[in-house]
């Protein structure tokens, strides 16, 4: 049992320190607020009691924070939810969020559970995180800090959470997922690559017991089949962390409109320092979503 527990924890206990260091280098919440790098912060409870830390940016078209229960002015184009990858934090997409804010979007940057300044000890590969994101959106809409329509962008772990979240929230109008794993079973197999099939199955099942989730509930492929909004996937051809075939499987499961952008010379983390390119992909996604609603 000791060996199984050790392997199980490898699947659900993230190396969160790098992301927390990145976040600390950006400054405390108070420092960022004082410099107007962000416009508000919140700690929002998930249904299981885990507190999710959120940075928020208002659309530059509405320079004030709406009061509690007050609907944001219509000058906001909607809300972009930006979800970071494994071992990072909300700081990963802060610059992108600032650009989107200048382009008229309200922006939410949550720390996924067990990352950054959020609570929680374990990751669940989307099973609980998708509920966390919905809770964040619910809270911020109710408080007047966000406005529909909702779009979601995610990288790696954040990409699989983005797709799983969009599948359970009809308010989400489009998804941009960067190098998303196909599901918990597929990506965890790569972590325990040398384990036998029996040992791997035992470790994954034990991970689900420890973290309180069903690994089959963390299937990006299954979620993609339920999407009611456009999906854009971006994946590096030379990605050895999350192989390109993961996005191919997700694409095959999803219904149109859908698109897979292959980054021929890129590996994992192809979104790093590519904010202008990402903004263009986001605007293209929005255009497709709006055409669907006409």
Say whether pLDDT at 38 is over 80.
Answer: yes
Say whether pLDDT at 138 is over 80.
Answer: yes
Cα–Cα distance for residue pair 18/65, rounded to 1 Å: 31
Domains by residue range for the chain, with CATH: 2-293 (3.40.50.1820)
Output the pTM of the full model: 0.93
181-226 pLDDT, tens digit per residue, is 999 999 999 999 999 999 999 999 999 999 999 999 999 999 999 9
Q: Is residue 41 classed as helix, strand or coil in its secondary structure?
A: strand
247-268 pLDDT, tens digit per residue, is 999 999 999 999 999 988 787 8
Cα–Cα distance for residue pair 172/284, rounded to 1 Å: 16
**Tokens found for residue 39:** 């416009």
| pLDDT of amino acid 89 | 95
Strand locations in the chain (E): 40-45, 51-57, 79-83, 106-110, 150-155, 172-178, 231-236, 258-263
Q: What percent of the chain has pLDDT over 90?
A: 86
Lowest mean pLDDT among 14-23, 95-104, 136-145: 14-23
| pLDDT of amino acid 292 | 84
DSSP string, 109-135: EEPPTTSTT---S---TTTTHHHHHHH
């Amino acid at each position: 049992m000791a060996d199984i527990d050790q392997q199980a924890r490898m699947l659900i206990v993230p190396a969160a320190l790098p992301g927390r260091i990145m976040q600390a280098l950006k400054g405390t919440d108070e420092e960022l607020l004082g410099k107007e790098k962000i416009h508000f912060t919140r700690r929002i409870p998930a249904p299981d009691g885990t507190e999710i830390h959120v940075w928020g940016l208002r659309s530059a078209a509405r320079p004030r924070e709406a009061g509690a229960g007050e609907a944001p002015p219509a000058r906001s184009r909607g809300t972009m939810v930006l979800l970071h990858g494994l071992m990072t934090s909300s700081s990963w997409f802060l610059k992108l969020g600032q650009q989107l804010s200048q382009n008229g979007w309200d922006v939410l940057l949550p720390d996924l559970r067990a990352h950054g300044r959020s609570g929680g000890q374990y990751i669940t590969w989307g099973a609980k995180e998708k509920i966390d994101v919905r809770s964040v959106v619910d809270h911020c809409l109710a408080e007047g800090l966000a406005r529909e329509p909702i779009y979601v962008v995610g990288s790696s772990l954040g990409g699989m959470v983005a797709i799983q979240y969009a599948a359970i929230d009809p308010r989400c109008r489009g998804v941009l997922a960067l190098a998303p794993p196909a599901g918990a079973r597929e990506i965890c197999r790569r972590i325990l690559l040398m384990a036998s099939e029996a040992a791997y199955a035992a470790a994954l099942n034990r991970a689900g017991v420890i973290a309180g989730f069903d690994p089959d509930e963390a299937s990006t492929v299954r979620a993609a089949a339920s999407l009611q909004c456009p999906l854009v996937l971006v994946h590096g051809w030379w990605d050895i962390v999350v192989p390109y075939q993961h996005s191919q499987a997700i694409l095959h499961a999803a219904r149109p409109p859908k698109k897979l952008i292959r980054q021929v010379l890129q590996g994992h983390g192809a979104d790093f320092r590519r904010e202008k390119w990402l903004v263009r992909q986001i605007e293209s996604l929005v255009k497709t979503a709006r055409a669907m609603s006409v």
